[in-house]
Amino acid sequence: MARDNLTYCYEAIQRVYRNSIVRHLREVLTQHFGKDAVEQVKKHFKKEWNDIEAAAYERRETNELSSPIIDPFDILGVNHFYNLYNAHFQLLYPDLATKSDRAQKQSRQALLGWMKSIKNLRDSMSHPAETDFDVRDAQNMLYCARKALESLKLHDAAQEVSDIRRQLDGKARATDKHVKRELLQKTIIDGRRIHYLDNKATSNPDILIFYLHGLGLDCRDFYPAMDSRYRSVAPTMAGFHPGDTHTASIDLARHCDIFSSFFEHHIKRLEQEQQEQVSTIIIVGFSIGADLSFQMLREANWIKNRKVGLLCLDCNINTDTCFISKELWLSGNSRYFQAV
């Protein structure tokens, strides 16, 4: 059975990271303070110690945790480590005497930063929603755990966390490939096969975003943009998608017509799916994609009664330096560039 991200995080953080840090605290503080070690821990949590203790026993009664409580150190959780390592950093950080004052300060900031990040991420993991723990948060948490353990020279535990992280990364790569296959689709527009990405987001049904790629690229360059709460669609120019059996021998004006038909098709499709009018259209064009967007919007019928935004990235509007813009100019589209 495939494990979810929560399971990887629980194993790495609770079983490996937490237990290793507790053992480290017990060993170092007991060696330095002797019988007073427990009191040194409790004094940093005077107001809430009884609640911490009650919560620890409750987790074992409900089988959330199975490890027995041998001494008060076993009551500590991930959210307590920041305070203790901040208070006893000089004792707990190894080989500190060999470092300069600046290096000591940097080491302190780094260790406490990793522990704080784990604490913050662990809080949301303790009260999971119906969806799985976000893979990027999971990867970040395991990275912080590994770095904290390595800095304390707890190398065996750090290696265990690293092994779990590799398993998590492998699962994420497999999931990413599946998601990408689901996003990539194809349709026929004006007799031409068009490959495109569609994230099928439904949270903002009145807003539709189109992405147009640059020369030599294709819709797959916009995979990261598909991670959006807005409906996002990115087509490849006809004949330019890898695997197409022929190169489309059509001019840019024809590409504009095909894209315009593609846009209109998807606007109508979204309105039918959501039973709501698309009121806002945003076009993001890169390089030649920006050029096509400019030209297409001059005559598009589907922009009527809608708000339209255009974001042009590295558009080719300088005819002295941009070959494509110069060709468009020479082909009789000077009015288009004068309008720009």
pLDDT one-digit tens code per residue, 70-92: 888 988 989 999 999 999 999 99
Task: Give yes or no: residues 33 and 111 share one domain.
Answer: yes
Q: Tell me if 179 sits within 8 A of 193, measured CB to CB.
A: no
Task: Give yes or no: residues 160 and 243 share one domain.
Answer: no
User: Residue 332 pLDDT more than 50?
Assistant: no
Task: Give yes or no: residues 42 and 173 share one domain.
Answer: yes
CB-based burial of residue 318 (10 Å sphere; 0-12 exposed, 13-18 middle, 19+ buried)? exposed
Q: State the distance between the two ends of the chain, measured CA to CA, in whole angstroms.
A: 57
CA distance 106 to 99: 10
Give me the mean pLDDT over the 310-339 stretch.
57
Average pLDDT score over the chain: 83
Q: Are strands 231-235 and 280-286 parallel, antiparallel or unpaired?
A: unpaired
Which residue from 237, 220, 260, 224 is spatially nearest to 324, judged by alpha carbons? 237
Task: Give yes or no: residues 105 and 19 share one domain.
Answer: yes
Lowest mean pLDDT segment, chosen from 161-165, 277-281, 313-317, 332-336? 332-336
Which range marks the domain in which residue 206 is found?
190-339
Number of domains, the chain: 2
CA distance 15 to 65: 10
Residue bearing the bigger pLDDT, 186 or 180 = 186
**DSSP conformation class of 210:** E
| In the block, residue with structure tokens 């708000």 | 307
CA distance 326 to 317: 9
Lowest mean pLDDT segment, chosen from 121-125, 149-153, 265-269? 121-125
Residue bearing the bigger pLDDT, 179 or 48 = 48
Task: Give yes or no: residues 139 and 23 share one domain.
Answer: yes
- Sheet with 280-286: list strands edge to edge: 184-189, 192-198, 231-235, 207-212, 280-286, 307-313
Whether the predicted model's global pTM rises above the 0.75 cut: no
Task: Give yes or no: residues 250 and 101 share one domain.
Answer: no
Which pLDDT score is estimated for 261? 94
**DSSP conformation class of 175:** H
Helix ranges, 248-320 (H)? 252-274, 288-297
CA distance 244 to 238: 9
Task: Give yes or no: residues 224 and 153 share one domain.
Answer: no
Query: Which amino acid makes up residue 143?
Result: Y
| In the block, residue with structure tokens 């949301």 | 124
CA dihedral 211, 203, 269, 256 (to 10 degrees): -10
Give me the mean pLDDT over the 9-38 stretch.
94
User: Residue 124 pLDDT more than 60?
Assistant: no
Helix (H, G, I), strand (E, B) or coil at 41: helix
Task: Give yes or no: residues 131 and 260 share one domain.
Answer: no
In the beta sheet, which residues pair with residue 235?
196
% of the chain with per-residue pLDDT over 90: 41
How many CA atoms, within 13 angstroms, populate the side-chain half-sphere of residue 329?
Answer: 15
Query: Which amino acid makes up residue 222?
Result: F
CA distance 55 to 58: 5
Does residue 185 sit within a domain? no
Q: What are phi and psi of 38, to 5 degrees?
A: -65, -40
- Residue at a domain's end among 177, 210, 243: 177
Does residue 278 sit within a domain? yes
Q: What value, to the nearest 5°, has the Cα angle with vertex 39 and ends 37 and 44?
A: 110
Q: Tell me if 136 sits within 8 A of 227, measured CB to CB.
A: no
CA distance 163 to 170: 11
Which pLDDT score is estimated for 338? 38
- Residue at a domain's end among 177, 203, 232: 177
Which pLDDT score is estimated for 1? 41
By residue count, the chain amounts to 340
Task: Give yes or no: residues 126 and 226 share one domain.
Answer: no
